[in-house]
A and B are shown apart, each in its own frame.
Chain A
């Protein structure tokens, strides 16, 4: 009898627990999926020597863990920021080197704002557009 009671409590615990979690969880909102390769639309790379010297100055790779972003410019990983996505905006809190606003109405998504890099300390206006996802054969590898 004791074990039946214990088992019933266990079943009740998991049933109620999961139902509650799913009820509240379905009301949660996670950040949009912005992981991937972004391509620079603006034609002003020459305004920033650091950017112009990169292997592929037009590309920005964005690795996303929810609100937390790991951004690298070009393909050689020479310029890398840790940034945060909050309320539709990407900012790098440590050095303020990046400020981008996400346009979710645009298809595909578009990021517009500015980059502050050595050689263009005043900031260079940029606009990036998300490239169609190319599923990596191995997920989660870091440069």
Chain B
């Protein structure tokens, strides 16, 4: 039975905490989403449960958390759909060899280093119920994630989307996003295989059928909806309902087949035709609900599961530092060395490494999946959440220090040359047409809105 009064108070408190912390973090030049993530942690046992345990117990009684969990899961489904919606396949198609190397190196280096770290952490922070291979693959995947929405927001706010660095960063992050989710899907299937209700001989053809449906009949159907919408000049309620049903069906199919509902929502977003009207129209309708109301609930729920009190001795703090060090070394090191090797200057390579090191809420999504699957222990989950917060927090000041403070105040950032052949690293201009138009238009990119850019309020 849902205790409606408790739920209303919970959501109210979460909203207030998220808005206040988001505002305060914007004041110190951090993304709003960073403040919202910290608000979630503060509402959990790490802070409120520690200083006011009775208030915490009254506000978040264990029996009430199933409803909060359901709301946060629904918010994540919408969020992943919006992330997929923004991901333009054109970004993935027209890449040069150099961007392929940089994007793959930015995944491979942290993935391998994360797996090596698993050798050290497994006997200390896991138990024999967890298979080592699953543990290592999961640690590798969690280390390789980049927060595409936060990164896009930083690039938009700094007016870097048209620069050479911005083009490479957004392309690399888009590739990382897709690759990261594919790797995670494989890991989730492996982990769930041991307890799967469906045998492999049903899962594999089931997945093949799902992808076939998504790439052919579903795409055809979406194109028809797109044409209809163009004629009408507006996304009608019926079209919106059909699209939401499509997201739910896709999420249901992937959850049923043992991957995760979030993959289905993400792929549904990727499949949406990338016409400006469709993408913007859908984002306008769904973005506010997902970002303002539902994502803070997810952050609060994550905060309730993370307890810094579990990291209660020097050895545990050493593990946390080691995790942060390996995460930064793998993502920053891998990206910047590969970028330098591909011809970028040291400054641009470092800036790219810093941008790719932003993990943000995408990392929190993956960590929650790890905790649900039982691959991450509670203390390791908390350490990884701290890593996600710190790597996101360090992005803005480091970028300022390494990149912006070195550029004279009145001098424009180095722009991408008009002739793509002038620099090997510049992809064809048309590839980013969509992103660039959005970046300079009255509204920002969807990821920028998702990351809570202060100027991202969309007028109805």
Contact = CB atoms under 8 A, between A and B. Distances in A.
B108 A138 contact: no
Interface in B115-171: 115-116, 118-119, 121-130, 132-133, 135-136
Contacts, number: 129
Contact of B127 (A26, A64, A82, A140): A64
Given A21-B116, A29-B128, A140 B305 contact: yes
Interface string A56-97: 000000011111101000000000001000000000000000
Given A10-B104, A139-B372, A139-B374, A66 B112 contact: no
A107 interface: no
A108 interface: no
A30 B128 contact: yes
Contact of A65 (B45, B305, B310): B310
Nearest to B315: A68
B123 A140 contact: no
Contact of B119 (A25, A32, A139): A25
Contacts of B119: 21, 24-25, 28
Contacts of A141: 62, 65, 304-305
B378 interface: yes
Contacts of B129: 33
B123 A10 contact: no
Nearest to A32: B128
A28 B307 contact: no
Interface string A1-45: 001001100100110011001101110111111110000000000
B118 A21 contact: yes
Contact of B115 (A7, A17, A70): A17
A137 interface: yes
Contact of B66 (A22, A26, A31, A138): A138
B423 to A, nearest CB: 15
B45 A142 contact: yes
A64 B376 CA distance: 11
B371 interface: yes
Interface string B314-338: 0010000000000000000000001
Given A10-B101, A138-B69, A68 B122 contact: no
A82 B312 contact: yes
A142 B379 CA distance: 11
Given A25-B122, A139-B372, A142-B49, A63 B378 contact: yes
Contacts of A13: 108-109, 112
Nearest to A24: B119
Nearest to A16: B112
B380 interface: yes
A14 B108 contact: yes
Interface in B95-111: 97-98, 100-101, 104-105, 108-109, 111
Q: Is the interface of B mostly helix, strand, loop or mixed?
A: helix
Contact of B136 (A21, A30, A67, A142): A21
Given A7-B101, A25-B136, A139-B371, A30 B112 contact: no
B128 A70 contact: no
B228 interface: no
A21 B122 contact: no
Given A10-B104, A70-B310, A35 B133 contact: no
Contact of A28 (B116, B132, B316): B132
Interface in B370-386: 371-372, 374, 377-381
Given A21-B116, A29-B123, A6 B341 contact: yes
Nearest to A33: B129
B108 A10 contact: yes
B112 A17 contact: yes
Given A21-B118, A139-B371, A26 B132 contact: yes
B381 A30 contact: no
A18 B112 contact: yes
A17 B123 contact: no
Q: Which of B66, B98, B127 has the most CB of A within 10 A?
A: B127
B123 A7 contact: no
B122 to A, nearest CB: 5
B98 A66 contact: no
A67 B310 CA distance: 12
A133 B257 CA distance: 25
Contacts of B65: 138, 141
A68 B124 CA distance: 8
B378 to A, nearest CB: 5
Interface of A: 3, 6-7, 10, 13-14, 17-18, 21-22, 24-26, 28-35, 63-68, 70, 82, 137-143
30 contacts: A6-B338, A13-B108, A17-B116, A21-B115, A21-B116, A21-B136, A25-B119, A28-B119, A30-B126, A30-B127, A30-B130, A30-B132, A31-B123, A31-B128, A64-B127, A65-B310, A65-B379, A66-B124, A66-B125, A67-B125, A68-B316, A68-B379, A137-B69, A140-B306, A140-B371, A140-B378, A140-B381, A142-B44, A142-B305, A142-B310
Q: Across chains A and B, which 7 residue pairs bring their CB atoms closest together, nearest first?
A: A65-B379, A65-B377, A17-B112, A3-B97, A33-B129, A66-B125, A140-B305
Given A13-B112, A139-B372, 4 more contacts: A18-B112, A21-B118, A138-B66, A141-B65
